[in-house]
Amino acid sequence: MIQNQKNTLTIWTSFLYLTLVWGSSFILMKRTLISFSPIETASLRLTSAMLVMIWFIKPQIALIPKNKWWHLVVSAITGLAFPIYFFALGQLGLPSAVTGVLNALTPCMVFILGIIFFRQSPSWLKIAGLSLGFLGSALLILVNAKGEWSLNAHALWIILATLCYGFNLNWIKKHLPEVPALPLAIMAVSIAGLFGLCILLTTNWLTVLQTHPHGQQSFAAAMTLGILGTAIAQFFFARILQVSSALFAGSVTYFVPIVAIAWGIFDGEILSWVHCLAILLIIGGIVIISRFK
């Protein structure tokens, strides 16, 4: 009884943390991009996350089978490194609220890539959900930040990021099911962070920090994003997976856009009726795909 109560508390505190922090990550990226380039923004985020995770690496290495290391590297690059750079590039031309909603396409990408590359069986109901999700994303791509009909190519970066997420989740399911969630998260963030550090060393981020009038505030946003939104968030996500189901853990996707939209409205972003319709279509699509087996 006590153990069940402890697990329930763990699940819901972790769920609340992830909803708030992941939902806030898009406004933090927006703040970081005031001073830093997208490449610097993503690199700072990955590097700061790695600096947290390296303290926990040593006891986790033994839990990774030797024949799974290259699978883990693929997971780290496709599930963390590439998407974080794509999100930073996309955020340049999108309201943070719209970015947060497009991020919710991840379950759609998991489904479609599972069919194409991992031999999963489709159903008509899930295809209907997928169609709704992509109709909503098409609207967001064709409507700019001012609510005007215009091709917004920045949204394609976010779509590409969710494709990476979808591939990675299928990859983990197929090639890394025996690796516990916590060491998988720690090692993936560490590998992706090393990738980010190598890129960061080729930029002039330190000069920007010292000379840009908003450099320190943007740097603080990047550190918050990396430490709270990437490193610690992975710990909480792993905790959910350890005591609950992957389906429940993935349901945080439904609530992240709500927080992102709230931050966008607070920051003065304008959502047109087309944006609102697209948001409903995407959320409706992921509900159908995730809930109906």
At 73 the pLDDT is: 95
**Each residue's pLDDT tens digit, 5-17:** 666 777 788 889 9
Highest-scoring range by mean pLDDT, 71-75, 151-155, 285-289: 71-75
In the chain, the number of structural domains is: 1
Q: Which residue has the higher pLDDT, 156 or 40?
A: 40
Question: Is 90 exceeded by the pLDDT of residue 48?
Answer: yes
Is the distance from CB of 95 to CB of 254 less than 8 angstroms?
Answer: no
Residues 6+ apart with CB under 8 A from 6: none
Question: Is 50 exceeded by the pLDDT of residue 2?
Answer: no
Structure tokens at 276: 């609102």
The mean pLDDT value for 18-39 works out to 95
**Each residue's pLDDT tens digit, 193-235:** 999 999 999 999 999 999 999 999 999 999 999 999 999 998 8
Is the distance from CB of 283 to CB of 250 less than 8 angstroms?
Answer: no
Residue 99 belongs to domain spanning? 2-291
Residue with tokens 């494709």: 163
Q: Name which of 39-53, 93-107, 244-258 the model is least confident about.
A: 244-258
The mean pLDDT value for 61-80 works out to 92
At 11 the pLDDT is: 79
Look over the chain and give the mean of its residue pLDDT values, rounded to a whole number: 85
Q: Name which of 20-24, 232-236, 240-244, 262-266 the model is least confident about.
A: 240-244
Is the distance from CB of 90 to CB of 98 less than 8 angstroms?
Answer: no
Which H or E element spans position 209?
helix 205-211
With pLDDT > 70 as the criterion, what percentage of the chain qualifies? 88
Q: What is the distance between the alpha carbons of residues 230 and 120, in angstroms, rounded to a whole number?
A: 29
**Closest to 154 in 3D by CA, of 75, 217, 226, 98:** 98
pTM: 0.86
Question: Is 90 exceeded by the pLDDT of residue 255?
Answer: no
At 83 the pLDDT is: 95
The mean pLDDT value for 267-281 works out to 80
Confidence of residue 90 (pLDDT cuts 50, 70, 90): very high
At 243 the pLDDT is: 67
The mean pLDDT value for 28-41 works out to 96
